[in-house]
Chains A and B, each alone.
Chain A
Amino acid sequence: DTAVSQTPKYLVTQMGNDKSIKCEQNLGHDTMYWYKQDSKKFLKIMFSYNNKELIINETVPNRFSPKSPDKAHLNLHINSLELGDSAVYFCASSAGPGAQETQYFGPGTRLLVL
């Protein structure tokens, strides 16, 4: 039983397209996150939601829009995809928003923009 799942696992698309990545957690956690791991391998926080409210919003282009329909889901929509958006996107969740709460990561979505 997967704790944090993401769909799709792989996504290949053309520049300019709009795409969404979905994330679901069955851990009963209140807080969810989106991270981006770029070609330089840095894992960087993009967004975090706690009880469906945005609590972390790093400096990302406004082409990226997270949506949390409920506590168990956090989706990431990306408009007008660019080559530089190619990366691995990880969803994560934790019991609460504190940095000392263990974060559980999904398997990642590998996005390739051509």
Chain B
Amino acid sequence: DQQVKQNSPSLSVQEGRISILNCDYTNSMFDYFLWYKKYPAEGPTFLISISSIKDKNEDGRFTVFLNKSAKHLSLHIVPSQPGDSAVYFCAASGGSNYKLTFGKGTLLTVNP
């Protein structure tokens, strides 16, 4: 039962352009959402998060948008840089449950 879905396994963009990574969720109890970034042979690292009381959160080149009615969130990276090439995981949590539920990840490749 995939409660967090990242339907694009990979995405390729040119350096300087915008990267948009998408995530859908099914559990209406989810109220906190995160993006993690993972390089090969390393553990995931926290990138940005958003609470369900907001619809946008921005941190430098990274912006996360949340559309609660569509149960959809997206991560925008502008401008994309080659060092952004990594796997991006969407994660969600909600209710009294401490745990994070992760998606399968999207491999982003930023070409110079």
- Residues of B in contact with A (beta carbons under 8 Å apart): 32, 36, 41-46, 49, 51, 89, 93-94, 97-100, 102, 104-105
* A102 and chain B: residue at smallest CB distance: B46
Task: Specify which chain B residues have a CB less than 8 angstroms from the CB of A83 in the assembled complex.
Answer: none
Sorting the interface of chain A by its residue count into under 10, 10 to 19, 20 to 34 or 35 or more gives 20 to 34
Task: Specify which chain A residues have a CB less than 8 angstroms from the CB of B41 in the assembled complex.
Answer: 107-108
Contact (A97, B98) CB under 8 Å given A40-B104, A41-B105: yes
The CA of A103 and the CA of B98, in the complex, are separated in Å by 12
For the residues of A in contact with B, the DSSP-based class is loop
The 29 sampled A-B contact pairs (Cβ below 8 Å) are A40-B104, A41-B104, A42-B102, A42-B104, A43-B44, A43-B89, A43-B102, A44-B102, A45-B100, A48-B98, A56-B98, A56-B99, A58-B99, A99-B32, A99-B97, A99-B98, A99-B99, A99-B100, A100-B51, A100-B93, A103-B46, A103-B100, A104-B43, A104-B45, A104-B46, A106-B43, A107-B42, A107-B43, A108-B43
* A42 and chain B: residue at smallest CB distance: B104
* A92 and chain B: residue at smallest CB distance: B43
Q: A4–B99 contact, CB under 8 A?
A: no
Contact (A45, B43) CB under 8 Å given A99-B93, A100-B32, A100-B49: no
Q: Chain A nearest CB: distance from B106 CB in Å?
A: 10
Q: Hey, what's the 0/1 contact readout for A36-80 against B, CB within 8 Å counting as 1?
A: 000011111100100000011010000000000000000000000
Task: Specify which chain A residues have a CB less than 8 angstroms from the CB of B32 in the assembled complex.
Answer: 99-100
Task: Specify which chain A residues have a CB less than 8 angstroms from the CB of B105 in the assembled complex.
Answer: 41, 43
The CA of A108 and the CA of B51, in the complex, are separated in Å by 28
